[in-house]
Structure 1
Amino acid sequence: MTTLPAVDPLIEHMAGELKARLDVTPSQHPVMIGIRTGGVWVAERLHAALGLPDPLGTLDITFYRDDFSRVGMNPQVHPSHLPFSVDDRDIILVDDVLYTGRTIRAALNEIFDYGRPASVQLAVLVDRGGRELPIAADVAGTRLQLAEGRHIKLSGPSPLSLTERTQA
């Protein structure tokens, strides 16, 4: 098993990296979108740390998944909520764990259904490698390599903690 880091220092690290990368002046501030569920928990903390003036957006990518027909309907589907226009905006897209890239692809498809952003930067709590699509995090709290068949899960919303498990 891998020793997993505490979540709060990872989020502090991510906030520092995002502050250094982004223009957060009142005239040109980015908007933030969290992917349900773990990405929203991380985004809530990052959003507060960065002091972004626009409300936090949330995405539920269930209907955009490429495996929707195989896994069927998720019984806890929530509506996506983007309380701002994405057109010509710089977006920070937040998720908890980046693995194959398929969740991020689905999130990008949904965002583009709302409009055409100027840019999208990806911030993830954990980048665990194993990509199936050419997607990379711009900011990661940590990068981990896990043994085959092992997965990371973010539990929360309070407190947030990472656990490692074997895929069932």
Structure 2
Amino acid sequence: MSRIGKKPVQIPAGVTVTVNGTNVHVKGSKGELERSFSELLEIVVEGEEILVKRVDDSKESNAQQGLTRTLIHNMVIGVSEGFEKKLELAGVGYRAALKGKDLELSLGYSHPVPYAASEGITFEVPDNTHITVKGISKERVGQVAAEIRAKRPPEPYKGKGIHYEGEHIRRKLGKAAK
């Protein structure tokens, strides 16, 4: 039995949820999101709660119930509060700057590395070694942060590269270990 799937999703004030069959449309102060879900589930709005119910007791519907409930919860949180990921640049000469809405990164290459902001994503650069990725879709914010990190992932010898704020980078000793 899915324990997470049974929990109702609370709808905060200012958020409207409409369910049309398997499509869920969530609208709030930050924007609106829409997503289609599995036919094995029934999504019901009762007062200020959203319930995800299984049509049958199959193993697949049990697995889908928890996932669907979590995705709907993330949609509700996204349109009301939004999501953000923070990145840090570590290394001599590693810098980030905003060019309009897009991001321009200096990562030790012979050229600057541009990163275009996709729809629904905004960047903040409080100083030249920190980047904040913001948006209403948790999935998209995480994907964009991972793509930026992949431009120069942290290396284990000196710790240079782009890493998430608070991420621990496992260090190696290198030649001194002999």
Q: TM-score range by the shorter chain?
A: under 0.3
RCO greater where, 1 or 2, for CA within 8 Å and sep 6 or more?
1
Higher helix share: 1
Higher strand share: 2
TM-score (norm 2): 0.22
